């Protein structure tokens, strides 16, 4: 079982977002980076599957050198080796093209991703990669088991879930409760230092979409507090003032 897990290097979910350079760059001061939470679920399930079925896990990131601490963390959690495509991934199509190229070379049985990145929240890279490789893709997957060369999994649909079976290889975008997030242990951290991390240059992709300027949402006005003993007035305010009822 050869598994490829694609991880993003993203600002922590509690990070305060602001911009510099005339709103063209993220202000990274004080921002802590993490493995995308959904990618973390994908990695955790990959580690469990490897424990059960044997095989290997490769982690892949399209990003610059600042991703390396997160890649090392993924190695500490249980991946065997890593590849970083050395480029600023500013567009889904560009990123997917890089991932598809690495995936093709490696011949993986299973390509696990997160349901979406938490910086751009597109939820499209798995579909793009699946189509580029000519194999099926599904997302968001909340349960996954492998039996021989068949994947048995559950996908969240509106108002519930759908159970599916499909032959490997597959691309899956993962979300909870597919597995519990894993914390690296001391031994993992020690061995991660010497596990291979290969850095490769990107392949050229035509310019599909270029980032311009960032903006922040308009600040929220003050909250109107309604005394508990007059709670009922909320309903009339929602009708007449906010006009949402």
Partner 1 sequence: MVLIFVELDNGSIKKTSLEAVAYGAAVAKATGTTATALAIGTADAAELAKTGAYGATKILHANAAELANENAMAYASVLAAAVKNENAEVVILPKSGLCDAMGARAAAKLGASIVSGVTELPDVSNGFKVTRSIYTGKAFATVDVKGAVKILGIKKNAIEAVEGAGSATVEAFMPALNNGDFVAKVTGQEKASGELSLTEADIIVSGGRGMKGPDNWQPLLDLASALGAATGCSKPVSDLDWRPHHEHIGQTGIKVAPNLYIACGISGAIQHLAGVNSSKVIVAINKDPEAPFFKAADYGIVGDVFDILPRLTKAVKDAK
Ligand X SMILES: Cc1cc2nc3c(=O)[nH]c(=O)nc-3n(C[C@H](O)[C@H](O)[C@H](O)COP(=O)(O)OP(=O)(O)OC[C@H]3O[C@@H](n4cnc5c(N)ncnc54)[C@H](O)[C@@H]3O)c2cc1C
* List 15, 43, 46, 63, residue binding ligand X (CB under 6 A): 63
- The first and second tokens of residue 52, run together, are 């059960």
Q: Which of 36, 222, 217 is nearest to 121 (CA)?
A: 36
Q: Are 42 and 148 in contact (CB under 8 A)?
A: no
Among the listed ranges 6-14, 103-111, 154-162, 188-196, the one in contact with ligand X (CB under 6 A) is: 6-14
The residue written with tokens 């690495």 in the block is: 102
Which residue, 70 or 82, has its beta carbon nearer to partner 1? 70
Collect all residues with Cβ–Cβ distance below 8 Å to 241 and sequence separation of at least 6.
none
Number of shown-chain residues binding ligand X (CB under 6 A)? 36
Helix (H) or strand (E) holding 153: strand 150-157
CB atoms within 10 A of CB 81: 14
Per CB under 6 A, does 137 bind ligand X? no
Decide which of partner 1, ligand X, none touches 101; Cβ closer than 5 to 8 Å per partner kind: none
Per CB under 6 A, does 140 bind ligand X? no
Decide which of ligand X, partner 1, none touches 127; Cβ closer than 5 to 8 Å per partner kind: partner 1
Please state the length of the chain.
245
Minimum Å gap between C-beta 243 and ligand X is 26
Which residue, 106 or 214, has its beta carbon nearer to partner 1? 214
Calpha distance 126→90 (Å, rounded): 16
* List 41, 58, 83, 89, residue binding ligand X (CB under 6 A): 89
Among the listed ranges 31-39, 142-150, 160-168, 227-235, the one in contact with ligand X (CB under 6 A) is: 31-39
Decide which of ligand X, partner 1, none touches 78; Cβ closer than 5 to 8 Å per partner kind: none
Q: Which of 26, 6, 1, 34 is nearest to 183 (CA)?
A: 34
Decide which of ligand X, partner 1, none touches 67; Cβ closer than 5 to 8 Å per partner kind: ligand X
């Amino acid at each position: 079982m050869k598994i490829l897990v694609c991880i993003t290097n993203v600002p922590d979910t509690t990070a305060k977002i602001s911009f510099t350079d005339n709103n063209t760059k993220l202000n990274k001061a004080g921002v802590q980076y993490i493995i995308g939470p959904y990618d973390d679920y994908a990695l955790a399930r990959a580690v469990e599957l490897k424990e059960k079925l044997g095989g290997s896990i490769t982690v892949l990131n399209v990003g610059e050198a600042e991703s390396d601490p997160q890649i090392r963390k993924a190695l500490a959690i249980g991946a065997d080796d890593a590849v970083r495509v050395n480029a600023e991934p500013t567009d889904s199509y560009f990123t997917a093209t890089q991932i598809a190229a690495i995936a093709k070379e490696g011949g993986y049985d299973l390509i696990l991703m997160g349901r979406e990145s938490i910086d751009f929240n597109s939820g499209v890279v798995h579909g793009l990669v699946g189509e580029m490789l000519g194999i099926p893709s599904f997302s968001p997957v909340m349960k996954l088991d492998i039996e021989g060369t068949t994947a048995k999994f559950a996908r969240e649909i509106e108002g519930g879930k759908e159970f599916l079976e499909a032959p490997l290889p597959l691309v899956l975008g993962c979300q909870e409760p597919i597995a519990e997030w894993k914390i690296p242990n001391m031994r993992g951290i020690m061995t991660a230092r010497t596990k291979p991390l290969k850095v490769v240059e990107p392949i050229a992709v035509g310019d599909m979409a270029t980032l311009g300027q960032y903006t922040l949402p308009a600040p929220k006005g003050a909250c109107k507090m309604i005394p508990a003993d007059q709670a009922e007035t909320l309903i009339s305010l929602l009708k007449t003032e906010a006009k949402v009822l």
